Amino acid sequence: MNWRERLRPYRAAFAARFLQMLQYRSAALAGFATQCWWGGIKVMVLAAFYAGAQASAPMPLHQAITYTWLAQGLLALLPWTADPEVAQAVRTGAVAYDRLRPVDAYALWYARTTGWIAARVLPRLALMALFAAVLLPLAGWTDWAWRASAGAAAGLFALLSMGLALLVSASMVMLLNIATAAALNERGINALAVPVVIVLSGNLLPLALLPDAWQTLLLLQPLAALVDIPMRLYFGQLAGGQAWRGLGLQCFWLALFVGAGHAALGRTMRRLEIQGG
Amino acid sequence: MPQILVDQLHKTYRVAERAPGLGGALRGLLRRRHRTVQALAGVSFALERGELLGFIGPNGAGKSTTVKILAGILRPDVGRVEIDGRAPWDDRERHVQRIGVVFGQRTQLWWDLPVQEGFDLLRDIYRVDPARYRRTRDELVALLRLAHVLDQPVRQLSLGQRMRAEIAAALLHEPDILFLDEPTIGLDAPSKLAVRDFVRRANRERGTTVLLTTHDMHDIEALAERVIIIGHGRVLADGPTEALRAQVLAERRLVVDFAHEAPAHLALPGVTLRHREGQTLALDFDPALTSAPALIARIAAEHAVEDLRLEGLSIEEVISRFYALHGAADT
């Protein structure tokens, strides 16, 4: 079987979920409105801090603003919560029935989860780009707008990195799905995950603005792979060899989480196979 | 060589249990108690290509466990299963490519997707050739009368529509073997008839081997030429449906309407009084001991009779007698 045929089930699972989620237009619009609102507040707070700052900031204000708009646009990319459908399937043992399909169960659910996330991110990101990168400059508020990347190469790296961020996020959501199933209740895990994700991904503040002593650790922790690394690539802060290292780090996390998720789901499946659905 | 060979399957489940109430819950926190439930205790049978086998038994008899093992969802503790010479769990992907499975209690179609898209997804999951898929799908849609629900999401279908869609979904990749676990459960009469009709056609016209579990004896009567009765995880009987009926029930029933109050007893050899109400009396008798004409003649000679009806027992009665005989009813 050639690789196209091999991948056919997973591509189809991704597409089905993606197209299905894309239909929830009002959710996308509501999400976008909230994200603009919070984005606006964050931009104003940042401006106030920058105006009052004594020392020189690690990144100029216009970068921090661009970072904020993009991070708001990518909000749905973060692994907030387990995919309710997947978690339920793991919990009820319905995943055992995936053994009836000639596919790898993890890969199938992973493809679905990726479709689920992508369908929520893309419309909101597009709307955010329209608002912050097109409408704000047109209105004359260039200082507050989302600005272009530091050159074409930086833009391409950032785009590639955002794609990887999507894959990393899906692998994290898969772990949440499986953990949720083990804990029988998603609330505890979600309550724990949300604040950690907001801070460590860079969604709250660009990680570069956090204390200098933490920088290495902040960049090496896995949540940086979701927002902060793509943004550093966008601004050209990571360029040349460092850019590749940034992408490599994302790939490392991706491999690690996919491996862990695959093993964990495999264990669940074997338990179900022996104990009964 | 049989297509499906099942040899001495054993399967036990461990179920957690706790005493009722707060005390029980607290004790359960400290020490879990488990109980082992024996689902299968040595099930063996063989199935030839193109056969249609009915599997009946009370709840908890081990029907679904057997189907799950054959489908490759469960692994037996002990025992051998060979389907076309291979164990289901040895080469899972190839195995599942050749079987279709429907669980009446569980939907396998994606809940929020329209039926059509769910079918398309299965086409890609089973990597079915598109032209072939279109032909099979159109045929299934016509036979199972699904054309008007193709655009509806699965969650909006009625139970009967959903079950027909599930059956179509299980056959899109043209499997040789079809496992149906209680496919008629909860369906209304027309849907049951539609499902039975379709299963019969799939079996006769395409030669699909079918193994069907059910509580509904009418399914068995309408479909299966061969039936296995299972109880307490064992095969209690295995044979042609007719032979089973004949074996357990050589007995016939004579219902007599008397012109007057029915007599309290009839001293006749080999005859059991089953039921008495007003002027009507139901008698079960063994035709080997007393022939029907002789019995009727004796009754008519002694009493004024208005009407006589001779009945075979329904298969429900056959089965429940059978369970009683083996002490196999759900305990």
Per-residue pLDDT tens digits for B68-82: 999 988 889 999 999
- Look at residue B211 and tell me whether its pLDDT is greater than 80: yes
For A100, the closest of B13, B39, B96 (CB atoms) is: B96
Beta bridge partners of B33: B17
Which chain B residues are closer than 8 Å to A12 by Cβ? 120-121, 123-125
CB contact under 8 A, A103 and B125: yes
Interface mutation vs chain B, best among A3, A22, A100, A113, most B CBs within 10 Å: A100
pLDDT of residue A269: 80
How many whole angstroms from its chain centre is CA A136? Answer: 25
**Taking CB atoms and an 8 Å cut-off, how many pairs form between chains A and B?**
75
Does A9 contact B124 at a Cβ distance shorter than 8 Å?
Answer: yes
In the predicted model, what is the mean pLDDT of residues B310-330?
Answer: 69
Which positions 262-291 of B are in contact with A (Cβ < 8 Å)?
A: none
Percent of chain B with pLDDT strictly greater than 90: 35
- B92 interfaces chain A, CB cutoff of 8 Å: yes
- Choose from A88-97, A242-251, A262-271 the range with maximum mean pLDDT: A242-251
Our CA angle for A83, A85, A90, nearest 5°, is 95
Q: What range does the domain containing A232 cover?
A: 3-275
Q: Please report which helix (H) or strand (E) contains residue A252, including its range.
A: helix A241-275
pLDDT given at position B331:
47
Residues of A in contact with B127 (CB under 8 A): 1, 5, 8-9, 102
Q: How far is A53 from chain B (nearest CA, A)?
A: 52
Nearest Cα of chain B lies from the Cα of A18 at a distance, in angstroms, of: 11
**B10, B66, B73: which to substitute to probe chain A, counting the most A Cβ within 10 Å?**
B73
Q: How far is B28 from chain A (nearest CA, A)?
A: 17
Parallel, antiparallel or unpaired: strands B280-285 and B271-277: antiparallel
Question: Hunting for tokens 């007698």 — which residue is that?
Answer: B321
Which tokens is B210 given? 């079918």
CB atoms under 10 Å from CB of B313, counted, come to 16
Question: Based on C-alpha coordinates, what's the Rg of chain A?
Answer: 20
Q: Is the pLDDT of residue B249 over 70?
A: no
Whether B117 sits inside 8 A of A16 (CB atoms) is yes
Q: In Å, how far are A61, A102, B194, B250 from B246, measured between CA atoms?
A: 91, 43, 28, 5
Number of Cβ within a 10 Å radius of residue B226 = 20
Q: What is the mean pLDDT of chain A?
A: 87
A276 and B13: CB-CB below 8 Å?
Answer: yes
Range in B42-51, B144-153, B303-312 with the lowest mean pLDDT: B303-312
| pLDDT above 70: percentage of residues in chain A | 95
- Which pLDDT tens digit goes with each residue over B132-185? 999 999 999 998 999 999 999 999 999 889 999 999 999 999 999 999 998 888
Residues A82, A176 contacting (CB under 8 angstroms) = yes
Q: Which residue of B has its CA nearest to A9?
A: B125
pLDDT at A277 (0 to 100): 45
pLDDT over threshold 90, residue A255: yes
- Right CATH number for B4-241 from 3.90.1150.150, 3.40.50.720, 3.40.50.300, 3.40.1800.10? 3.40.50.300
Cβ(B295)–Cβ(B268) below 8 Å: yes
Residue-wise pLDDT for B176-197, tens only, equals 999 999 888 888 888 888 889 8
Q: Does B151 touch chain A (CB under 8 A)?
A: no
Run of H or E residues at B68? helix B63-71
Question: In chain A, what residues touch B92 (CB-CB under 8 Å)?
Answer: 99, 102
Q: Of the ranges A118-132, A139-153, B165-179, B246-260, which one carries the lowest mean pLDDT score? A: B246-260
Query: What is the C-alpha separation between A119 and B7, in angstroms, rounded?
Result: 49
CB contact under 8 A, A97 and B113: no
Q: Yes or no: say if B314 and B249 are a contact pair by the CB < 8 Å rule.
A: no
Q: Tell me the percentage of chain B whose pLDDT exceeds 70.
A: 93
pLDDT tens track for A141-199: 888 888 888 889 999 999 999 999 999 999 999 998 888 776 656 566 677 778 888 88
User: Which residue in chain A is spatially nearest to B12 when comparing CA positions?
Assistant: A275
Mean pLDDT of A43-70: 86
**What whole-number distance in Å separates Cα of residue B237 and Cα of residue A53?**
87
- Angle A203-A207-A213 (CA atoms, 0-180°, nearest 5)? 150
> What distance in Å separates the CA atoms of residue B84 and residue B98, rounded to the nearest whole number?
10
Contacts of B94 in chain A (CB under 8 A): 102
Q: Give Cα A216 to chain centroid, integer Å.
A: 21
B124 shares contact with chain A (CB less than 8 Å): yes
